[in-house]
Amino acid sequence: MKGLQESFDRFATLIYANSLLGALILLAVSFLIDLVLSLIFRRAVRLMIARDKDRRLDRLGATFPSKFAQVFL
């Protein structure tokens, strides 16, 4: 258990945001999470449009939130 705590403490000091390396690691992790969320949201909108056989859904209105989420994320 002590070895696990030491490993966690080493990892915590590595991602400390006040250090350059920690800030870069947190930036990369944040970028990857945002990229994945954006891809999931875009895929969900495309799937929603594809399943709209009755054409009840406004295409522009459906794609706008997708583009907005990309910019926001």
Give the tens place of pLDDT for each residue, 35-64.
Answer: 898 889 889 888 888 888 887 877 777 778
d(CA 69, CA 20): 28
The answer on pLDDT for 33 being more than 90 is: yes
- pLDDT higher at 18 or 28: 28
DSSP state of 69: H
How many domains does the chain divide into? 1
Q: Which domain holds residue 11?
A: 2-72
DSSP state of 28: H
Helical packing angle, 59-72 and 20-50, nearest 10°? 170
| Number of helices followed by number of strands (H, E) in the chain | 3, 0
